[in-house]
Amino acid sequence: DVGIGTATPITLLDVYHATHSQVTISSPGNQDSSLSLIEQSVSAPFGSASVYGFQWKYDGGDNKLYLSSGVDTNVVNRLTVQRDDGNVGIGGVTAPGSEVDIEGSHTGTNTGAPYGTGSTHINLKNTSDTDGNLVGVLFEGAVSSAYMGGMFMEMENHSSFYSRLHFATRNASSF
């Protein structure tokens, strides 16, 4: 075990500082820096045969942070964060054009569950099983939080499993 800042490391690499621990991984300009969290049966880098796991990579050439998963040589980008504007891409989006950009497709053979072939979805879950609970997306205006809109799915009668979809706007006093 190796200790940096400690004489008693408790893992293979233990970094300690009394006020602020920081590990820096750096490369010269326009190069990549990465941290791989992998399981392997051979001594090989992320993206190689018999290597499985995840990699955080900062790409200095395009100024983006990527989280990728890898199974053997099949490496798939799962999350992208652009350095200059902070835009986030999820599901294979490598050039997010908005604050959050989600892309995906369901390619399973069972087109009836849950959303059909070619669908992309976000799962919002409310685990309470009482009537009248809401799950929704709220859109808040930049000028004032008093003026908002949203989409809400409400469980009207939980025992019968039927719901209503609400589209709502809000003024200063209520929805």
The pLDDT of residue 99 is 87
Residue 82 phi/psi, 5-degree rounding, is -85, 130
The pLDDT tens digits for 135-153 are 666 555 555 555 555 555 5
Label residues 119-152 b or e (16+ Cβ within 10 Å = b): eeeeeeeeeeeeeeeeeeeeeeeeeeeeeeebeb
Query: What spatial distance separates the first Cα and last Cα of the chain, rounded to whole Å?
Result: 59
Mean pLDDT computed over every residue of the chain: 77
Kindly report the pTM of this predicted structure.
0.66
Report whether pLDDT(59) > 70: yes
In this structure, of 40-44, 46-50, 122-126, the range with the lowest mean pLDDT score is 122-126
Q: How confident is the model at residue 54 (pLDDT cuts 50, 70, 90)?
A: very high
Q: Which of 9-23, 54-68, 107-121 shows the highest mean pLDDT?
A: 54-68
The pLDDT of residue 57 is 96
